[in-house]
Amino acid sequence: MITFTSFPLPSEDAFNGTRQHHPDVAEEIMIDLDDEQDQWEAGGSKLTYPGEALTSSQAYMRGHGTYVDNEEVIASVAGTIERVNKLVTVRAIRTRYNPEVGDLVVGRITEVQPRRWKVDANSRQDAVLMLSSVNLPGGVQRRKLESDELQMRTFFEEGDLLVAEVQAFFSDGAMSLHTRSLKYGKLRNGQLVTIPPILVRRLKSHFIALPCGVDLILGLNGYIWVSKHVKESEQEGEEGFDAEAVYSNQNDTIDESTRAAISRVTNIIRVLASHFVPLTDTLLLEAYEWTVDQEGGAKDLLQEDVGDALVATITSRL
Amino acid sequence: MASRVEILNQGGFRSDGRRQYELRDMSIDLSPQGTADGAAVVAHGLTQVMVSVFGPREAKMRSQTIHDRANINVELNIAAFSTGERRKRSRGDKRILEMAATIKSTFEPVVQTNLYPRCQIDIYVQVLQQDGGLLQTCVNATTLALINAGIPLLDFVCAVTGGVHSTSPLLDLTLLEENDIPHVTVAVMPKTAKVTLVTMETRLHVDRFEEIFRLAADAGKVVHAEMKSAVRARTGTLVAAMGAGPRAGAGETEKDGDGRMNEY
């Protein structure tokens, strides 16, 4: 965060009411006053909108969210200005998911094509899942046969949800996924919540097991899978790699209390997203405990006053 | 003349009490609508339009994909209850199709479509109330919805209608004025003062055109300031809300953030 500084801009009317510092001065201040940074960021000097001239194109390089016209770097989206050395980028506050290699995503099959599936992953184009990048029954490493091509729908069908990793990009920018790990594959025993992708931060692990018997998969594309907890020892695969279980469409029996916990977690995520609060596992846990203390049902959370109270409590606690 | 409403009276006031160059009250709501990537509800006086933007996303029809840029698809729907006399227009209505095509051609040079090859950007325009200046409201609402969806634009597009009553020019006409006097809608990009749309459905004297055109282009800058502050406020709110969550900081800033969040 230390790298973000303001630009030595020609002062314009848009900057009225915000403090302008020489870059060196600004840096010093940010190191000094760490907690003033928040206010400083929200204060407006780092926000921009389409068509605002940011800096000269001779001194700086343009990054995403900007374009060059008349030797000026100009913002093309509304969001926050970020600067790394001489590279200026504008990060849009709300946008579709921008994939990067290695990201964990949750997606939904939209189409079955020859030797590949098309997957909706909240990105600008549908992702591609090649038949060669999924684990097939009968050994993790084996050749793809013609018979596999003919029975692709027994693995994934239109509408199935899956968790996968971004493997590579095609020349037109579409992403290629893979599920070649025992952690990845078809999803069942739960429900999906969709939130703006910017609210999912990169974490050490995107598989979270909450102590209330609920597993979470935080897809970086803003799709979140909330499901019943599966014990480590009972996880499919390991030595045997039970294809039946991995590609099964049948839900396990889920008892009443787990169902309630799943819907409670789902509603917490919805409330946090509607208040634009980024998700973390500690935040979710705090929120879950708070809602249990309040003794309301899961559906009460969606009432506006309860939601506001929840967000007010947990953001002040952290 | 007794039965007709005076467009501009002796004192220089119009039928709704405005002066010649006065614009109507503009209200902007940028809160999210359903599953749309970006949405905006914009009202100029009594004319109200809601726009939802979806995309950039995979084109549903293969034939519509363009290999080197995104395809913009505009659909316009005029609610039956939006006018004085209740009347249902079919979606295939020529006027509606023409207006959708106008909006599309206005935004094609402004949206950076070349960044999203083989994608589609869907713009759904829903007219809720009509009281003149329909096209200007649609254009302004579409600009804001696109910005809200994080779609890169070269600049804002700000539209204003201008008209002329005998020799005196008027701005931002109501339905009453639009029915009576010749008018022209102008959309400008305020930064470069480039014009992306000029359209006229009535006959306007060629000597009057330049004056009105310049006035409308200038008025676009006023609309721009209004739209800019709305976008700024919205972005500021969201950034503040995001900062309030995970970052362990001073209590003061957090309280501040909460107050703003509760507005939504």
| Residue extents of the structural domains in chain B | 26-261
Q: Higher model confidence: residue A135 or residue A238?
A: A135
Cβ contact B123:B103 at 8 Å: yes
Interface test with B, best of A67, A74, A77 (most B CBs within 10 A): A77
A54-86 CB burial, b ≥16 within 10 A, e <16:
bbebeebebbbbbbeeeebbbbbbbbbbbbeee
The ipTM is 0.84
Give residue A141's pLDDT band: very low, low, confident or very high (50, 70, 90).
low
pLDDT band at A280 (very low <50, low <70, confident <90, very high): confident
Probe site for chain A from B242, B261, B264 (most A CB atoms < 10 A):
B242
Mean pLDDT confidence for B173-183: 92
Comparing alpha-carbon positions, the chain B residue that sits nearest to A280 is B246
Confidence of residue A28 (pLDDT cuts 50, 70, 90): very low
Is the CB of residue B194 less than 8 Å away from at least one CB of chain A? Answer: no
Q: B37 at the A interface (CB within 8 A)?
A: yes
For residue A231, pLDDT over 80 is answered with: no
Are A129 and A156 in contact, with CB atoms under 8 Å apart?
yes
Question: What confidence category does residue A232 fall into, taking pLDDT thresholds of 50, 70 and 90?
Answer: low
Considering chain B, what is the average pLDDT of its residues? 87
Task: Render pLDDT for A189-217 as a digit per residue (tens, 0 to 9).
Answer: 999 999 999 999 888 889 999 988 899 99
Asked whether the predicted pLDDT for residue A270 surpasses 50, the reply is yes
Which phi and psi angles does B111 have, rounded to 5°?
-75, 135
What is the model's pLDDT at position A34?
Answer: 37
What average pLDDT does the segment B15-39 reach?
92
The confidence score (pLDDT) of residue A11 equals 38
> Residue A29, SS3?
helix
Residue A35 has pLDDT above 90, yes or no: no
Q: Tell me: pLDDT of B131 over 50.
A: yes
Tell me which residue in A47, A50, A276 faces B241 most closely, judged by beta carbons.
A276
Query: What's the whole-number mean pLDDT along residues A103-122?
Result: 94
For chain A, give the percent of residues with pLDDT over 90: 47
Beta carbons of A124 and B116 less than 8 Å apart: yes
Q: Tell me which chain B residues have a C-beta less than 8 angstroms from the C-beta of A47.
A: 232, 235-236, 239
* Chain A: residue whose CA lies nearest to B120: A124
Q: How far apart (Å, rounded) are the C-alpha atoms in residues A256 and A253?
A: 10
**Could you identify the residue written with the tokens 């953030």?**
B257
B257·A316 Cβ contact <8 A: no
Determine the Cα–Cα distance for residues A199 and B238; give it in Å rounded to an integer. Answer: 11
Tell me the shortest Cα–Cα distance from A178 to chain B, in angstroms.
20
Contact A76 B152 (CB under 8 A): yes
Q: Which of A41, A79, A125 sits opposite B58 (nearest CB)?
A: A125
Q: Is the Cβ pair B253, A77 closer than 8 Å?
A: no
**Looking at the partner chain, which of A94, A278, A311 has a beta carbon nearest the beta carbon of B150?**
A94
Query: Which residues of B are less than 8 Å from A65 in CB distance?
Result: 152
Predicted pLDDT of residue A207 = 92
A280–B246 CB contact, under 8 Å: yes
Minimal-distance CA residue of chain B relative to A312: B258
B207-250 per-position pLDDT tens digit: 999 999 999 999 999 999 999 999 999 999 999 888 765 443 33
CA distance B173 to B132: 6
Neighboring chain B residues of A125 at a CB cutoff of 8 Å: 56-58, 118-119
A194 to chain B, closest Cα gap in Å: 9
**Which residues are CB-neighbours of B68 under 8 A, at least 6 positions away?**
B114, B117
Phi-psi map region of B240: left, alpha, beta (phi>0 left; psi -120 to 50 alpha): alpha
Computed over every residue of chain A, the mean pLDDT equals 81
Q: How far is A236 from chain B (nearest CA, A)?
A: 33
More confident residue, A9 or A245: A245
Region A160-187: mean pLDDT is 91
Q: What pLDDT score was predicted for residue A299?
A: 83
DSSP letter at B81 equals G
Contact: A96, B147; criterion CB under 8 Å: no
Give the pairing type, strands A53-56 and A79-84.
unpaired
Give the lowest-confidence range in A163-177, A281-295, B223-237.
A281-295
Q: Does residue A22 register a pLDDT over 60?
A: no
Task: For A120, name the nearest residue in chain B, comparing CA atoms only.
Answer: B58
Q: How far apart are CA B261 and CA B245, in angstroms?
A: 11
pLDDT on residue A314 = 84
Give the minimum alpha-carbon distance from B210 to chain A in angstroms, rounded to a whole number.
26
Give the per-residue pLDDT at A300: 84
CATH of B26-261, one of 3.30.1490.100, 3.30.230.70, 3.40.50.10140, 3.30.300.30: 3.30.230.70
Distance between alpha carbon B175 and the CA centroid of its chain, in Å? 17
Q: Which of the four pLDDT bands, split at 50, 70 and 90, describes residue B129?
A: very high
| Residue A235 pLDDT | 58
Cross-chain residue pair A96–B150, CB shorter than 8 Å = yes
Q: What value does the mean pLDDT take over residues B195-212?
A: 92
